[in-house]
Amino acid sequence: MAVVAGHPDYITGKLVRRACERHLFDLERSKDPVEDIWFDPAEADRVIRFFENLKQSKGRWRGKRLKLMAWQKFVIGCMFGWKRKSTGFRRFRTLYEEVARKNGKTTKLAGFGLYGLVGDREGGPEIYAAATKRDQARILFTEATRMVRQSGPLKRRIKIGQKALSCSLNDGTMVPLGADGDTIDGLNPSMSLIDELHAHKKREIWDVLDTATDARDQPIQAAITTAGFSSTTASVCWEQRAYSVQVLDGFDTKGGHRDDSWFAYIAALDDGDDWRDENVWIKANPSLGQTVTLDGLRRQCAQAEAVPSKQNVFKRLRLNMWTEQAELWLDLEVWRRNGAPFDRAMLDGRLCYGGIDIASKRDLASYSLIFPPIEEDPRWYLLNWSFLPSDQIAHREQKDDGIPFREWEEQGYLILTDGSRIDQDYIRKHINDSADRFEIQEIGFDPWNATHLATCLAKDGFEMREMRQGIQTFAEPSKEFEALLYAGRLAHGGNEILEWNAKHIAIKHDENLNIMPSRKRSSEKIDALMASIMALGCGIAPEEEEDEYHSDGFVVDVSTK
């Protein structure tokens, strides 16, 4: 009632308001004996009490009972409280919930699964925690497992296994399910739980689970997700969202879209809202002030305003706004402002750090050197050499129409090696030759396709640093690379292969807005920039302090008697 009345303590977006209006509309509709729906408040309260007896497993809330907020009670109460008059079974079979990150999506889905396993009065319940990959599905499964461990009553009823939770009282199971498994056929789900539906590029999991419920009287398929990418409007997530909006927009109009089996809750900003206005953030973050902090959103919003690459990340993950798929990283104008030519001779004898990227054995490989500032010059200088097998150049020119590989060779940015595969011996020689000219302190490398070369270089006397492709490794150097560019302190001399990379490089990110370049999302090769970021990673890595108590492989006993 408060949401529909516009109470100032309950600020919501239009679509949440429509969900509340639908509930009130249906309460009135259910009074008509012709209508086949009715709301059972006792059943809604029973399920809510089950949820609030669960204990949380992480952070400052570990070991504490769940305290549901009003919006969570609304969703849970509607899903389990609405029933069919004709059968007594649940009315809603599908839940589509869309909210920003950190609003308790996974915790709530875990609660759904545990209720379905022990509290749903279902014979032989099959609960599936579903994702595109089994490892991803295990995140939700693990959360449910931790909840079981925190609860004496649940531990007495549920057996914890590596691959399943099982309940001997009703022969029920809860298992993680990934599209990468051997098979996803032959299922009989009573409850299917899909966390982050936007990550599903194909609709296989959704369709298999949706069509496997005919033998169940009151199955639930629940998808709780953050917004996806607006350029992938053919995705299963976008389809379910669009259908949900139709249901919310048309339930109370003549000829409107009424689906009594579908429940939707979409917490999102409205058209015209300014994403920088903190007064509207609660529309996408109904848990603001609880699991979502205003200070945290302010900090990330400030980052997004200052760094363009973080805007789409902040909008999509923290404000639940559908954004463009291609999250290009670098502003080409900013890149070119750092491209003034310089005399390479000025770097002779200078201290520097290297990076090697060999993403493919038959395609481009790259080697970069980055030179830290000196007292009289605050800029970092970047040199890069890329390599391509000579037998591949015709194929590359045909495939990449308009990309001037031979011109880059003439300019010295590209080196052609003999044969059809990357000649790592040649690259090794080139690196050794560069060491005669520059003081190379350390070289970063990705072990994918470069382990042999790294081993050889280590034998040549180089310090090698393994840098696996992941946000944990690349977040800090990526952030520093971006900061140096925008500060005008990364001199790359107008290297055209680096600029080609810069035009097409895209990023991926985690929920904390950490970023790193993504080969899969980038529309072209990014090897030269990846090598450069690895080189910078070596240059900014903290030096390891020598342990004075360990020497030559022996541990010195410094204990007192």
Closest CA to 123 of 65, 75, 190, 30: 190
* Residue where the block lists tokens 């970069």: 368
Rounded (10°) CA dihedral 427, 429, 435, 438: -60
Q: What is the pLDDT of residues 531-550, one digit of tens each?
A: 999 999 999 987 544 443 33
pLDDT of the residue at 18: 96
Q: Model confidence over 59-90: pLDDT tens digits?
A: 777 888 999 999 999 999 999 999 999 999 99
Distance of CA 539 to the CA centre of its chain: 28
**pLDDT exceeds cutoff 80 at 233:** no
Q: Count Cα neighbours of 130 within 13 Å in the Cβ-side half-sphere.
A: 28
Residue 32: Cβ-neighbour burial (10 angstroms; 0-12, 13-18, 19+): exposed
**pLDDT class of 184 with cuts at 50, 70, 90:** low
Of all residues in the chain, what percent carry a pLDDT higher than 70?
92
For residues 462 and 433, give the distance between their C-alpha atoms in angstroms, rounded to a whole number.
12
| Confidence tier at 232 by pLDDT (50, 70, 90) | low
pLDDT digits (tens, 9 = 90+) for 479-515: 999 999 999 999 999 999 999 999 888 888 777 778 8
Considering the chain, what is the average pLDDT of its residues?
88
97: left (phi over 0), alpha (psi -120 to 50) or beta: beta
Banded model confidence at residue 114, pLDDT cuts 50, 70, 90: very high
Instruction: Give the per-residue pLDDT at 323.
Output: 82
Position 401 scores a pLDDT of: 54
How many angstroms separate the CA atoms of 273 and 403, rounded?
42
**How many CB atoms within 10 Å of residue 501?**
27
Longest dimension (CA), the chain: 91
Q: What is the pLDDT of residues 296-325, one digit of tens each?
A: 999 999 988 887 778 888 999 999 999 865
- With CA atoms as reference, report the closest residue to 198 among 160, 227, 177, 220: 227
At 305, the amino acid letter reads E
Q: Which residues contact 91 (CB under 8 A, 6 or more apart)?
A: 37, 82, 83, 84, 260, 261
- The CATH 3.30.420.240 portion of the chain extends over 332-540
Q: Where is 187: in which H helix or E strand?
A: none
The interaxial angle of helices 70-81 and 14-29, nearest 10 deg, is 40
- Where does 332-540 sit in CATH, by number? 3.30.420.240
- Which distant-in-sequence residues (6+ apart) come within 8 Å of 483 by Cβ? none
Is the distance from CB of 515 to CB of 507 less than 8 angstroms?
yes
Return all residues near 183 (Cβ < 8 A) that are at least 6 apart. Answer: none
Tokens of 448: 């994918």
Banded model confidence at residue 107, pLDDT cuts 50, 70, 90 = very high
Say what the pLDDT of residue 418 is: 86
pLDDT value of residue 328: 73
**What stretch of H or E contains 238?**
helix 236-250
Q: How many CA atoms lie within 13 A of 276 on its CB side?
A: 7
Q: How far apart are CA 310 and CA 296, in angstroms?
A: 15
Q: What would the mean pLDDT of 167-172 be, rounded to a whole number?
A: 93
β-strand pairing of 365-371 with 490-491: unpaired
pLDDT of residue 64: 86
The segment(s) of the chain belonging to CATH 3.40.50.300 are 2-283
> Which residue, among 204, 212, 141, has the nearest Cα to 176 in the 3D structure?
141
Return d(Cα 339, Cα 408) in angstroms, integer: 16
Report how far residue 20's alpha carbon sits from residue 78's, in angstroms, rounded to the nearest whole number. Answer: 10
Could you name the CATH architecture of 2-283? 3-Layer(aba) Sandwich (3.40)
Determine if the pTM surpasses 0.85. Answer: no
Rounded Cα gap, residues 277 and 287, in angstroms: 17
Q: In degrees, to the nearest 5, what angle opens at C-alpha 344 toward C-alphas 378 and 341? A: 75
Q: Is the pLDDT of residue 560 over 60?
A: no
* 3-state secondary structure at position 520: coil
Structure-block tokens of residue 194: 């899909």
154 within 8 A of 148, measured Cβ to Cβ? yes
Residue 49 pLDDT level (bands cut at 50, 70, 90) = very high
Block residue for tokens 């990705």:
446
Dihedral of CA 133/138/139/141: which sign?
positive
**For range 87-108, the mean pLDDT:** 95
Statement: residue 133 has pLDDT above 90? no
Q: Which stretch of DSSP H or E encloses residue 319?
A: helix 319-319
Percent of the chain with pLDDT over 90: 67
Q: Are 30 and 46 in contact (CB under 8 A)?
A: no
Q: How far apart (Å, rounded) are the C-alpha atoms in residues 265 and 167?
A: 31
Q: What is the DSSP string of 31-91?
A: TSTT--EEE-HHHHHHHHHHHHTSB--SGGGTTSBP---HHHHHHHHHHHHEEETTT-SBS
Question: Dihedral of CA 486/488/489/494: which sign?
Answer: positive
Contacts of 439 (CB under 8 A, 6+ apart): 349, 350, 351, 352
Report pLDDT digits (tens) over 254-310. Answer: 767 789 999 999 999 999 999 999 999 999 999 999 989 999 999 999 988 887 778
Residue 519 has pLDDT above 90, yes or no: no
Q: What is the distance between the alpha carbons of residues 299 and 318, in angstroms, rounded to a whole number?
A: 12
pLDDT at residue 528 tops 60:
yes
Q: 355-413, pLDDT tens digit by residue?
A: 999 877 777 899 999 999 999 999 999 999 999 998 877 776 666 556 888 899 999 99
In SS3 terms, 249-286 reads as HHCCCCCCCCCCCEEEEECCCCCCCCCCCHHHHHHCCC
